[in-house]
Structure 1
Amino acid sequence: MKHYNIPVFISHFGCPNDCVFCNQKKINGCETDVTLEDLKEIIEEYLKTLPKKSKKEVAFFGGTFTGISIELQEAYLKVVKPYIDKGDIQGIRLSTRPDYIDENIVNLLKKYNVTTIELGVQSLDPLVLKKTARYYPEDVVYRACEIIKKSGIDLGIQVMIGLPGSTEKSDIETAEKVVNLHPENARIYPTLVIKETKLADMYKDGKYKALTIEEAVERTKKIYSLFLYNNINVIRVGLQPTDDLREDGNVLGGPFHPAFRELVEGEIYFDFLSEILKTSEKLDIEVNEKDVSKVIGIKKVNKNRFGQLFNLKIDSRMEQNTIKVNGRLFSRKDILKGEI
């Protein structure tokens, strides 16, 4: 059954933190900018267009949901509950910080059918967390994950690569620690320099150097492969290319690309096929039609790099995410293994 999110972007104006990459504005006397009536209208509008025979979740994004007052959290959840009771919506997912999770909060969320809690871990390198003004001890992350998993709610973890103070080694070490936390899903976000942030000031002053697209893809493909190889569903790679991000002047630097995940997938297949060429003189490839774009790469970059050695055939009988090269069948994990 196809899955759909009903996104509700709740800025947390009362957030006491000041992470260098965040540009949420602080508004005195106002916790957030979505009223209960707004929430109901958003849900009603999406339900008019989404297929009835599909899994639908209300997704609270954009801020630290569990950082707002308990009263407002429960008020939002109460708006959603009748839709869950009627079967129109199957659950709720939300994002928050690891240091805003405890047993009482999770018990409340479970009461209202929250199905997934995504933790904005970002990094498990203490130096990186301090340089991004987001410091919390590793134990706080581990404890939050333990509470969530014990409750039966699915655990999601968000990581950012290329933060101030990070290196390829530290980002991969964070990913390895995430694997040991056994989340059900993950998101990978290359760091972008957004206007009106402390990171933007650091960037302008030469105190922060953003990753290039090539550097971000190189780093991400290893982390992405590590997560998938260990059965962690990667539900997003790169920030969603919203109208705000596309608007001139909002992204000052960093590896922004509207199809970043496809770039990463293309490089994984390029590495995999390059390895085969070390012992073969050709690449006779068979794949399911749904995998063609990943194999040939964006703008056919892989096909062009391999030239006449590259021969592709579509076979609708092939299982998706498998590939046959020179008569030998490879699984998805075979493809990913070389990056780990």
Structure 2
Amino acid sequence: MKTRIIPIFVPHRGCPHDCIFCNQKKITGVGTDITEEEVKNIIESYLKTIDKNCHIEIAFFGGSFTAIDIEIQKNLLSIAKEYVDKGLVKDIRLSTRPDCINKNILNILKENKVTIIELGVQSMDLKVLDNSIRGHSDLDVVKSSKLIKEYGFKLGLQMMAGLPSDTEEKCIYTAKRFIDLKPDFVRIYPTLVVKDTGLEKLYNEKKYNPFNLEETIQIVKKLLVLFYLNSIKVIRVGLQATEDIALGRDVICGPYHPSLRELIESRIYRDYIEILIKDKNIKEKIIIYVNKKNISKIVGNKKANIEYLREKYKINLKIQERILNLDEIYFNYNNNEYKTNIKEIYNKLYNIYKF
């Protein structure tokens, strides 16, 4: 069953800190507080266009929802709850800060049929948190995550790669700490320099440089392998493209790409093919058979993988569609056909990548 999200943006409302990377008006495209009437209008508008057979969720995004005045929380949630009670919506989710969770808040969320809570963690490294003016510690993350799970909510954790003083090692450390907390899913956001933020000021003063696109690919591919092998879904990589979120508009610089996840997954396939070429001493040609939905990932953006392998190894790479499961893949080389799957590929790369 397909899942459809009805997004309700509450930009910066209730947030007790002005984090160095954050300008929610730019990121969400919404600049004013939202009213109960507007929430109802948004839900009604979306429901008119969504197939009733879909799994429908109402999601409060963009701010620290549980830092809002309690009465406002109740009022906004009560609107969403009406649609759950009517059977029109299955889940209510919201995002908030790790230091804005306690038993009283969780009881209120339970009463109002909230089922999914996402924590904007960003990093588990104390120096990165401090330099990003997050205002919470790693212990806040551990405490709130455990409490959320104890209350029976689904837990999502969000991390950012490339914050001030961040490194590949710190990103991997954060991922491993996430894995220990056993979230139901994670999101990975490479850090972008957005207009009107503290990060823009640091960048202009030459005190901060974001990860570039290649660094981001090299780091996040390892995070995807770690999360996959620990059965944790990564439901998003990178900010969703909007009219504002694009280089040269409100994003000044940083590893922005509208298809960032596909770039990274494509690199994972390329890394594996390189290993195969070396291990099996493959010459001249490889034919790869995959589900048609995976063809673009193996070909690479603008045929990048095909060109790379041709130039480096003089290998002619051909990709053909075959009726296979999404995670199945066949390699034909040196008159042999070799079957594998995504899990085996990721396991192989886990032993190659440095963690």
TM-score range, shorter chain: over 0.9
Structure 1 residue 284: Cα displacement: 2.4
1:315 paired with 2:325, answer no
Which residue pairs with 2:18 in the alignment? 18
Query: Is this contact kept in 2: 1:229–1:336, CA < 8 A?
Result: yes
How far apart are the structure 2 equivalents of 1:157 and 1:274?
Answer: 33
Q: Residues 185-204 of structure 1 correspond to what in structure 2 (within 5 A)?
A: 185-204=185-204
Which residue does the alignment assign to 2:353? none
- Sort the Cα spacing of 1:160 and 1:279 in 2 relative to 1 into closer, same or farther, 3 A: same
For 2:206 and 2:345, the matched residues in 1 are separated by: 39
Give the equivalent residue in structure 1 for 2:290: 287
- SS of the equivalent of 2:48 reads helix
Percent pairwise identity: 45
> Displacement of 1:32 after TM fit?
6.2
Distance in 2 between residues matched to 1:329 and 1:153, nearest whole Å:
39
Q: Which residue of structure 2 lines up, in the alignment, with residue 161 of structure 1?
A: 161
SS at match of 2:175: helix
The CA distance in 1 between the partners of 2:23 and 2:318, in whole Å, is 47
Is 1:325 the counterpart of 2:331? The answer is: yes
Distance in 2 (alpha carbons) for counterparts of 1:213 and 1:95: 27
In the alignment, structure 1 segments of 5+ residues that lack a partner are: 26-30
Map 1:294-309; keep pairs closer than 5 Å. 294-307=297-310, 308-309=315-316
**1:75 and 1:150 mapped to 2: Cα distance?**
25
Q: SS at 2:188's partner residue? A: strand
Equivalent position of 1:65 in the other structure: 65
Query: 1:47-87: CA deviations, max 9, x gaps?
Result: 00011100010011110000101111110111011211111
Cα drift, residue 314 of structure 1: 1.0
* Alignment partner, residue 96 of structure 1: 96
Q: Please provide the CA RMSD for this pair.
A: 1.5
* Residues 106 and 148 in structure 1, CA contact (< 8 A), matched pair in contact too: yes
Cα distance change on mapping 1:219 and 1:61 into 2, 3 Å: same
Task: Please report how far the alpha carbon of residue 171 of structure 1 lies from its aligned counterpart in structure 2 after TM superposition.
Answer: 0.9
Residue by residue over 1:148-205, the C-alpha shift from the partner in whole angstroms, topping out at 9 and shown as x without a partner, is 1111110000000010011111111111111111101110000000000000000000
How far has the Cα of 1:14 moved from its partner? 4.0
Aligned to 2:28: none
Using the alignment, how far apart are the partners of 2:8 and 2:348 within structure 1?
Answer: 38
* CA–CA distance in structure 1, aligned partners of residues 339 and 114 of structure 2: 40
Q: Distance in 1 between matches of 2:344 and 2:17?
A: 42
1:188 and 1:224 in contact (8 A); partners too: no
Alignment of 1:24-39 (within 5 A): 24=24, 33-39=33-39
Equivalents in 1 of 2:72, 2:92: separation in Å? 16
Counterparts in 2 of 1:111 and 1:32: CA distance versus 1, 3 Å: farther
TM-score, normalising length from structure 2?
A: 0.91
- The answer (yes or no) to whether the contact 2:14–2:69 under 8 Å persists in 1 is no
The one-letter amino acid paired with 1:105 is I
Going from structure 1 to structure 2, the CA distance change for 1:276 and 1:260 (only over 3 Å counts) comes to: same
SS at match of 2:245: helix
Greater CA deviation, 241-250 or 103-112? 241-250
When residues 113 and 218 of structure 1 are mapped into structure 2, their CA distance, relative to the original with a 3 A threshold, is same
Q: Secondary structure at the match of 2:94?
A: strand
In structure 1, distance between residues paired with 2:202 and 2:327: 41
2:319 corresponds to which letter in structure 1?
A: L
Cα distance, 1:9 vs structure 2: 0.8
Matches within 5 A, 1:1-340: 1-24=1-24, 33-246=33-246, 248-280=248-280, 281=282, 282-307=285-310, 308-316=315-323, 318-326=324-332, 327-340=337-350
The C-alpha deviation readout for 1:282-329, integer Å capped at 9, x for no partner, is 42211111111111111111122223431222111x110221123222
Q: Measure the CA separation in 2 of the matches of 1:16 and 1:93.
A: 21
Alignment deviations for residues 226-260 of structure 1 (CA, whole Å, 9 cap, x no partner): 11221111110001111121374311110011110
Contact 1:12 1:32 in 2 (8 A): no
Structure 1: distance between partners of 2:247 and 2:202? 21
Please report the TM-score for the alignment, with normalisation by the length of structure 1.
Answer: 0.95
Residues in 1 aligned to 2:287 and 2:102: alpha-carbon distance in whole angstroms: 54
Match of 1:28 in 2: none
Shift of 1:113: 1.6
Say which SS state the counterpart of residue 244 (structure 1) adopts. Answer: coil
SS of equivalent residue, structure 2 residue 4: strand
What amino acid maps onto 1:199 in structure 2?
Answer: L
Q: Give the Å deviation of 1:135.
A: 3.5
C-alpha displacement of 1:24: 4.0
Aligned equivalents of 2:125, 2:87: Cα separation in 1 = 42
Gaps of 5+ in 2: 26-30, 351-355
Secondary structure of the structure 1 residue equivalent to 2:115: strand
